[in-house]
Amino acid sequence: MSYNKTDFFGYSIRLIQLSEEDGGGWLAHVPELKGCLADGDTPDEAYAELKEVLDFWLEVAKTEGKSIAKTAYHEEIEYSGRIGLRLPKNLHRILSEQAEKEGVSLNQYMVSLLSYNAGRYEQSAHKEP
């Protein structure tokens, strides 16, 4: 099989801003291809450099007989909405008592707690630094 930089399609590309202690700038890498990375002063420069590095990385991997990860494609995962959960007896008691005070089932109470905290996580993940 022939590989070249047009085969970026299907690989993950990660761009990471480097701290000033690490020299600043940006690091671009392909997580599926260990050691395939490049840097630049801007995200665009790091990405452009990674395109050049990919050709070299693939050639070396072929020469050394290393396996090259195949590209991945996004697949939707279907979730059933059911989960088996084991928890400590004391936590089970606390949650059951709280659900009873709220006048809802244990399942409904736990879903509300999980939903609230998942929403908080989503909001914090989207905030600008």
- Kindly tell me if the per-residue pLDDT of 8 is higher than 80: no
Per CATH, the number for 5-63 is 3.30.160.250
**Based on C-alpha coordinates, what's the Rg of the chain?**
23
Whole-number average pLDDT of the chain: 85
pLDDT at residue 1 greater than cutoff 50: no
Flag whether pLDDT at 11 surpasses 90: no
Predicted pLDDT of residue 126 = 59
Residues 6+ away with beta carbon under 8 Å from 65: none
Residue 64 three-state SS: coil
DSSP string, 71-110: P----PPP--S-------HHHHHHHHHHHHHHTS-HHHHH
Q: In this model, does residue 43 exceed pLDDT 70?
A: yes
For 65-99, write each residue's pLDDT tens digit: 988 887 766 678 888 999 898 999 999 999 999 99
Q: What residue ranges do the domains of the chain occupy?
A: 5-63, 89-125
Write the pLDDT tens digit of every residue in 49-74. Answer: 998 898 889 889 889 998 888 776 66
What is the percentage of the chain residues whose pLDDT exceeds 90?
Answer: 46
Crossing angle between the packed helical segments 106-125 and 89-102, to the nearest 10 degrees: 100
Residue 128 has a pLDDT of 54
**What's the average model confidence in pLDDT over 20-37?**
90
